[in-house]
Every structure is written in C-alpha cells, then in structure tokens.
Amino acid sequence: MEYIVTSKEMRECDMTAIKDCGIPAMVLMERAALSVFSEIEAFLSETIRIAIFAGCGNNGGDGLALARLLAEKGIHADIFLIGNTEKLSVECERQLSILKQLGITVNSKSAKAEYDMVVDCLFGTGLTREITGIYEEAVRAINCYGEKGSRVIAVDIPSGVCADSGKILGCAVKAELTVALQYGKAGHYLYPGKMLCGHTVVHNIGIPEFFKQGKEPSFFSYRVEDIHGSLPERAAFGNKGTFGRILLIAGSRDMAGAALLCGKTILRSGAGMLKIITAAENRDLILRELPEAMIYTYEGKPEEEKVRQSIAWADVIVAGCGISTDENAELLMEMILEQGEKRAVIDADGLNLIAREGSLQEKLLKYQKGRVILTPHPGEFIRLAGISMNTYKENPAFYLRKLAKEYGCVIAGKDAVTLVASPDERMVYLNRTGNDGMATAGSGDVLAGVIGALSASLEYFQAACCGVFLHGLAGDMAAEKQGKRGMLASDISAELKELLKEETAEREKRIWS
C-alpha cells in the first residue's frame, strides 16, 4: 500500500521531521537533490546542456543544491533564479550562498537556444494561486524547450499543477519525468495533472514515518503485491456455496448484454453460484452463453415471492446493470432495499432510480451501514448527490466522502481515476490502474461483477478497492493485447480470469518456495 498525501499533510510531515525529529531542513533538501540526481545521472555527460529554473522557495533550493551536485561531477548548468531574491526562503538563501562561495554562476545572462535537459524547480506542492507574470514566462520557456526536444524534469511536482487536485493553476510545466519527494501527491495521479507529470517516481528523502498512531493521509493506493495478500484463499475443502451465492438483477428488454457481461465476470472472479433475474426476452441468450447460471425471468411485473426468495438465498446482490428505470425495475429495487441487510452492489439504472425516487433513498438510508456499495460514474453521482458537474469536479474526493457518510455506503466513483470512499471516513482509495480504452460500453457492468464476487468474501470497502484495482489492471492487460481503440468490455472480463489465475499461481509459489 502506498500513501498519497495533500500539500497540507506534506507540510506536516516536513515540520515533524524538522522540529520533532531534529532533522535539519538542509539535510532534507540535500536528499531531495540527490534523488533528482540519481534519476538523471544516466543521461549526464560532460557536454550535456542543462538549464535549472529555480524559484525563491524551498523547491528552488532543491534546484540550487542539484546544480552544486552537477558541478561536482564537472557538469555546468545554466541556473535561472526566478522571482524576488530579497524574499528567498532561509534554506534557498543558504544554497545560493554556497553556490556563490564555490564560484558557481547563478542567473546566466543569456539562455541557450536549446538544452538537452531542463529542470523545473519553480514551485513545489504548496502552490495554490494561479501562475502569472515572470513565473508564467518561465513556465512557457520551459515548455518551449520541451517542445524542441529537451527532457523536462520536474522536482516534486510540475510547477502550476495543484498538488491536491491535479488542476492547472493558470499554466503549468509539462514534464517527461517527475521526481516526487517522500510521498506521491494527489495531483500526480488526478487529471489533468497526471498528463503533465509524465512518469512519476517517488523517492524517500529521509522523513520518518509520520502516518502512525492513528494518523492517516487522505489517500492510499494499491500495488500488485498488495493485492496478492488481500484476496482470500480458496478453501480446499469448500463447495460451491462456500465461495458465495450471488444474485444478479440485471438486463431489461434489449439489454441482455449487461446481464451477460456482469454475470460472466461474477463467475470468472471466483463466485461459487450465480442466479440471474432478468427480462424474459433475455432468457435464451443467457442460457446459451452462460449455462452455469440459474435464471428467473419475468414478463411484465416480476413475481414478488420469487424475487424475495432469491434475495433470501443470496449472500450478495448485484443490481442495476441495464434494468431500465420503469415501474418493474423500481419494484425490484424496492424489494432489494427494504430487506436492509444483505451485501449489495448497486450500479447504473439502480442508481438512477435511487436518485429519482425519494422512497428508495429513504430505504437506502435505513440500510445496515456499510453493506451497500454504489458504483456511479460522474453523471450518476451528481444525480445522487444533487449537485452540478462543475461542483463535483472541483473536489470529487470531498463529495464522495460526504455522500458515503450520508448514505452509510461505500462509493466507488468511476472516472478516468476512480476513487473509493467509505462511510467511516477512512482514507480514500485512489486507483492507479486502467486506461482510456476502458471507456467502452459494458465496462461498468464488468466492474460491478468483480466487486460483487469479491464482496462475498472480503470486507465491503476492501472488496470495492480490490475490485477497482483488478478491473483496471485487467483493462491494462486487454489494452496491451487488443489496443485501446479496439478493446471491448468482454476483453476486460476475459483478462480478469487470466489475472486471477496468475494470482493463484503466485500464492501457491509463495507457499511452496
């Protein structure tokens, strides 16, 4: 698990290291410069042309320290110190003094027409205002060099990218490589900032562990190795009931594909038994393509007794994929929500019905806390929350946490970067797998399926986070094989099977090695 922090949390980490642990700020600055140096060292030569654009704060100080490290290797860098030099931070002023004592020129009188490498140290993670004036000119100059072929390296975060949201603050540097210091920041991974960071690497600069004794950062992210330890082991003595009985309520007339995609994924993700409630028109297709599933079909109004019996049978209910928003679908949602305790994953039309019908909202509010996982895309979310898209996009994590607490649900906010919030206000999961090829019809049905299957054996929030991670990773595998333009949602489902097969093999390898 990797922690991802806000600018405020990073400042607290810095202050704890400096004030409580007695680590001098200059030491942290030196470690930062060494981290950047280690990343660019492979590209260095005595003839390389390097420019360092430094601001007057500690990010600029990192750049000045880097210039000294380069000079020690016999490499000259043109240094451009931008801003009011009478208002340098204490550490930046010390770094400048060291350079002067070593005879290293700062503020080169003229810039070269081209550079092999440009290092951006104008602003760090504390920037909150829009970039204007001479700073804007510097950003545009850096980007101009990048367009000419220079490698652009950002120290901590590209100048102009908001560390908390990934927004562009007026203008921003477009980097090829970003060297993040100590922790990744939300702005490294949220769009549009993610596009400007290029490849982000995180370096430990020696700040002691801050997030302990009850303290947590705002975000965390999974790595592949975290998933290996999170998925439940399959009991060698288990039977089909051991691995979860899933009830899928999906697919209105002409929407059989939603039920089929979700149902196949549920079984491919390890569930032992699947029952599908769907419109009568879908019966033949589902029986032909998914004979492993039990099926109950309805024509007109669903038979309430049969639906209630199916709900009672299930360990987990997955509902909403392609069910429409007519009165029959509304009746199905009422029966799901009124029982109030089964684990449930609600997607698509199920979410739209809840947003539309106050009676369903009331039932959801009474549902046992934490037992429902909602999986809205931004359009569905704003209908649920009653806010505008612009408002939501200002701070998705805030509004996801707010609605998760209000409804007592886990919410996986699907987007280019999916966020998962829980009702108990723990860290928000920020997903870093997936790609734009997954923006294809049926992808959400596949996600609902994998989360539903995992919900049979994992804690709800963990099921949602693992499901989102695996869904994205399977999407990455599908894109590698099929290409982003040509991949289908069914390709994602197929790769989930391969991914989980590999996970099982990896677990067995660890056991017997």
User: Among 200, 91, 96, 211, which residue's Cα sits nearest to residue 156?
Assistant: 200
**Residues 427, 494: one domain?**
yes
User: Is residue 305 classed exposed, middle or buried when 0-12, 13-18 and 19+ CB atoms within 10 A define those classes?
Assistant: exposed
**Residues 150, 248: one domain?**
no
**Residues 116, 161: one domain?**
yes
**Residues 212, 250: one domain?**
no
The rounded distance, in Å, linking the Cα atoms of 269 and 496 is 7
User: Among 369, 338, 389, which residue's Cα sits nearest to residue 459?
Assistant: 369
What are the strands, taking DSSP E only, across 367-495? Answer: 372-374, 410-413, 419-421, 428-430
The rounded distance, in Å, linking the Cα atoms of 54 and 36 is 14
**Edge-to-edge, what's the strand order for the sheet holding 428-430?**
184-185, 2-5, 219-221, 428-430, 419-421, 410-413, 372-374, 343-346, 316-319, 245-249, 273-279, 294-298
Number of domains in the chain: 2
pLDDT at residue 110 in the model = 80
pLDDT at residue 512 in the model = 41
At 295, phi and psi to the nearest 5? -145, 135
Looking up residue 148, the CATH number of its domain turns out to be: 3.40.50.10260
Angle between helices 349-356 and 358-366 (to 10 degrees): 100
User: Among 322, 227, 239, 341, which residue's Cα sits nearest to residue 277?
Assistant: 322
The rounded distance, in Å, linking the Cα atoms of 381 and 194 is 23
pTM of the model: 0.94
pLDDT at residue 289 in the model = 97
The segments of the chain whose pLDDT lies below 70 read 108, 212-214, 502-513
**Residues 202, 143: one domain?**
yes
Whose tokens are 């850096």? That residue is 142
Copy the structure tokens of residue 157: 């975060």
| Percent of residues, the chain, with pLDDT higher than 90 | 89
Residue 202, helix vs strand vs coil: strand
The rounded distance, in Å, linking the Cα atoms of 92 and 62 is 8
Q: Name the domain boundary from 153, 185, 217.
A: 217
**Residues 201, 63: one domain?**
yes
Q: How far apart are the first and last CA of the chain?
A: 24
The rounded distance, in Å, linking the Cα atoms of 221 and 428 is 9
Cβ–Cβ under 8 Å, residues 157 and 125: yes
Whose tokens are 């046992």? That residue is 368
Question: Is residue 482, in this structure, part of any structural domain at all?
Answer: yes
Question: Is residue 1, in this structure, part of any structural domain at all?
Answer: no
Domain that holds residue 342: 239-512
**Residues 258, 191: one domain?**
no
Residue 75, helix vs strand vs coil: coil
Q: Name the domain boundary from 217, 252, 287.
A: 217
CB neighbours of residue 39 within 10 Å: 17
**Residues 213, 344: one domain?**
no
Q: Name the domain boundary from 186, 217, 248.
A: 217
Looking up residue 409, the CATH number of its domain turns out to be: 3.40.1190.20
Question: Is residue 9, in this structure, part of any structural domain at all?
Answer: no
Question: Is residue 223, in this structure, part of any structural domain at all?
Answer: no
The rounded distance, in Å, linking the Cα atoms of 206 and 216 is 19
pLDDT at residue 510 in the model = 46
**Residues 163, 312: one domain?**
no
Question: Is residue 283, in this structure, part of any structural domain at all?
Answer: yes
pLDDT at residue 504 in the model = 62
Cβ–Cβ under 8 Å, residues 104 and 68: yes
Cβ–Cβ under 8 Å, residues 5 and 230: no
Cβ–Cβ under 8 Å, residues 468 and 421: no
Question: Is residue 142, in this structure, part of any structural domain at all?
Answer: yes
pLDDT at residue 505 in the model = 57
Question: Is residue 463, in this structure, part of any structural domain at all?
Answer: yes
DSSP string, 131-171: P-HHHHHHHHHHHHHHHTT-EEEEESS-TTB-TTT--BSSS
Alpha-carbon distance values, 107 to 46, 59, 91, 132, 288 (Å) = 21, 16, 18, 20, 73
Question: Is residue 3, in this structure, part of any structural domain at all?
Answer: no
**Residues 256, 182: one domain?**
no
β partners of residue 419: 413, 430
**Residues 202, 306: one domain?**
no
**Residues 326, 404: one domain?**
yes
Do the strands 50-54 and 410-413 form a parallel or antiparallel pair, or are they unpaired? unpaired
